[in-house]
Homo-oligomer: A and B are copies of this chain.
Amino acid sequence: MKLKVATAVLSASLLASFALKAQEPDWKLSDEEMKKASQIYFDRCAGCHGMLRKGATGPNLEPEKTRKMGTEALKAIIHYGTAGGMPDWGASGELTPEETLLMAKFIQNDPPPPPETSLDKIKATWKLYIPPEKRPTKPMTNRNWKNYMGVVLRDVGKVAIIDGDTKELVNIVNTGFAVHILRMSASGRYMYSIGRDGKVTLIDLWMEKPDVVAEVKTCNDARSVDTSKYKGSKGDFLDKYAVVGCYWPPAIVTLDGQTLEPLKIVSTSSYAYDKPNEFIREARVASIVASHHNPEWVINIKEAGQVWLYDYSDPLNPKIKQLNAERFLHDGGWDSSKRYFLVAANMRNKVVAVDTEEGKVAAIVETGNKPHPGRGANINHPKYGPIWCTGHLGENTIACIGTDPKGHPEYAWKVVKKITLPGDGGGNLFVKTHPDSKYMYADRPLNPDKEAQSKIYVIDKDKLEVVSELKVPEKYLQPRTVNGKEVKPRGPVHLEFNDKGDEVWVAVWGNKLIPSAILVFDDKTLKLKKAIEGDWVRTPTGHFNVLNTQKDIY
């Protein structure tokens, strides 16, 4: 009897063990593996798919969906990328085969709960290196500091300050990881960088050698920073406050503009403006701009499809007008009058024009497949009057929209011209112009074609067509060998003018393992005027001229 029972138990036990093995999913990970994968996900994937994986620019990756696809299919997509915009993480060598497999498994697990924050936690990271009273009272340099160019050295976590007149390196400062943008204070004196890791760095340009005077880690993931730029009947807010837009936790963090002391955190978790109107915990802050006409920031809440007009005049008690706009708001810029803010709703192929004077959405304009304007480019066109242009990630066009309802009502909030870029595919990230230039320039770093990636297109502002290209010397684009491994540098990206508007600067993205270059072209002759080189030039991905950024000239 005893034996019988034992045998029965044995069989059941073995069977159960086999059954368990057969059913055990192949995506189970150890704590150690989960930790490693979480970090990779955060660095590479969360930007498009979200920390909670509900999707935004990239599709939803919740386990309900990914487990149906299975490890092999997911691995293939992570390795090769997709035509829809998913990068080829494996093929490009950014992820090893082991990491690719790890990530294919990771996204079939439930998302680990992302970290939470508080104003106290943010304050604990705040470092004031040089308080305002110990800073210079006038510029301590003879350089033309208003023509400084802040250059983001993305993958090495630094920003270089270059003298735009002499093209000399003035200083390199440590910043947050993968700085997304730089912004200037209203006076131009202070430069703010925002890292992908939420760290804000405050750089004082009046120092003989500009350097970091304060820093604070506002959140775990951020994309935007701006400053208070209003002076008028409602008060003098010049150089007074800064604001950070966080991806995670999704929030707006207001800082003292002189010290970076954290003042206020406001959640942006909210209900979506349109169907299915659900509560979105991860409603992230995409872009922010400061109004010149009001003590107000225009803050774009991506997943909620809302534009928030944020009155900072009483910073601990902010007043926020929440405008319904369009979903998946991303980046944008002012029209030339700085009354209208134009922001891309990229997954809806639209641009939203926000009237900041009347505090309402003036128009929503269909432009093309995934508009990505950066801050866009303003042109005063002989026929259409003031227009604003955006490129697209998903198609080979630049769309220009009339922005002058009073002077040119027939063109207002209409696409007056679609400029075609040569060849197929989109992949444009930035367009740029200057009021004193005849040209608008456009890059194409995300085009799948290597040849197209290497181009900067020159567009005549009157004709609104491509008339030339800037020649990026081949040597910056050639693969090089480092420690026996072939390194393929990425092509040119991001464009910026100098203060006078007679030079256009182009970053050659490169690769962090090898030095790259910042190319300065003559805006009249379109000839390469100067290549700024040096061992320190690693992954330059954006440059911000002090005067143009201060005054929002683009």
Contacts and interface: CB of A to CB of B under 8 A. Distances in A.
A5 B360 CA distance: 77
B116 A278 contact: yes
B277 A266 contact: no
B319 A118 contact: no
Chain A to chain B: the 10 pairs with minimum beta-carbon distance, closest first: A119-B277, A118-B277, A6-B6, A319-B321, A6-B10, A118-B278, A317-B323, A265-B271, A267-B270, A9-B10
Identical chains bound together, number: 2
A319 B321 CA distance: 4
A242 to B, nearest CB: 18
Contact of A117 (B116, B279, B323): B279
B276 A251 contact: no
A278 B265 CA distance: 9
Given A6-B7, A9-B9, A120-B277, 18 more contacts: A3-B6, A6-B6, A9-B13, A116-B279, A117-B279, A118-B279, A251-B271, A265-B277, A266-B271, A281-B281, A309-B319, A311-B321, A314-B321, A316-B324, A317-B323, A318-B321, A319-B321, A320-B320
B120 A275 contact: yes
Residue of A249, A265, A266, A277 with most partner-chain B CB within 10 A: A277
A437 interface: no
A322 interface: yes
A529 to B, nearest CB: 48
A269 interface: yes
Contacts of A5: 10
Nearest to A123: B277
A431 B75 CA distance: 68
Contacts of A320: 319-322
A118 B311 CA distance: 28
Interface string A1-38: 00101110110010000000000000000000000000
A279 to B, nearest CB: 6
Contacts of A120: 275-277
A118 B118 CA distance: 27
12 contacts: A3-B3, A5-B10, A6-B6, A9-B10, A116-B279, A118-B271, A265-B277, A309-B319, A314-B359, A314-B360, A317-B359, A318-B322
Given A6-B6, A13-B13, A249 B279 contact: yes
A301 to B, nearest CB: 11
Interface in A263-297: 265-267, 269-272, 275-279, 281
A319 to B, nearest CB: 4
Nearest to A117: B279
Contacts of A311: 321
A546 to B, nearest CB: 34
Interface in A304-341: 309, 311, 314, 316-324
Interface string A57-68: 000000000000
Given A3-B6, A5-B10, A278-B116, A360 B271 contact: no
A377 to B, nearest CB: 29
A5 B118 CA distance: 56
B269 A269 contact: yes
A457 to B, nearest CB: 38
A249 B279 CA distance: 9
A319 B314 CA distance: 15
Nearest to A269: B269
A323 B266 CA distance: 12
